[in-house]
A = this chain, B = another copy of it.
């Protein structure tokens, strides 16, 4: 998606350790008008799918998912990363290892909000090793819902997540795929799949 790639080149910052900072528009400060354009693009790419719910994971996926959900006219469910007393006992759980935070955590979704009648689009801001998406797929599989596809803002094409999801035959729409980045020069190259 050209406007997202252009925005990454303009405002993204490459840091050592394969970190791409896009916190000025994607995951700390959030450009909701860009999110709307991204939502319309996913709506176009998944137009033939009977999506009735979007699933994401807290925290930085929530904003993108909610704005995209307005394009689909469906509700969002977000997986929580820790148990709260406001959650009922009945929930689906999985485990996720965070690339940026270097730890393993539980993710949970109430059984009330995922079930066999649901046709799910997963939305998230980043895809790297794919751990968050795999955790969300676990929850969907446990619930009997149908996974219709995965929409990602930025895929790190040099990490394994995208290839693993495509190998499962799951439709994956990454709006920008970063094939390489160089912290010394700041250069970012994009690819397609």
Shortest distance from the beta carbon of A36 to any chain B beta carbon, whole Å: 7
Q: Contacts A23-B86, A86-B21 known; A28 to B63 CB distance under 8 Å? A: no
Size band of the A side of the interface?
35 or more
For A112, list chain B residues within 8 Å (CB). 23-24, 29
Contact A87 B32, beta carbon cutoff 8 Å = no
Number of copies: 2
Contact A85 B19 (CB under 8 A): yes
State whether A30 touches B66 (Cβ < 8 A): yes
A77 CB within 8 Å of chain B: yes
Minimum Cβ distance to chain B for residue A4 (Å) = 16
Q: Is A75's beta carbon under 8 Å from chain B?
A: yes
Given contacts A63-B65, A80-B59, contact A85 B70 (CB under 8 A): no
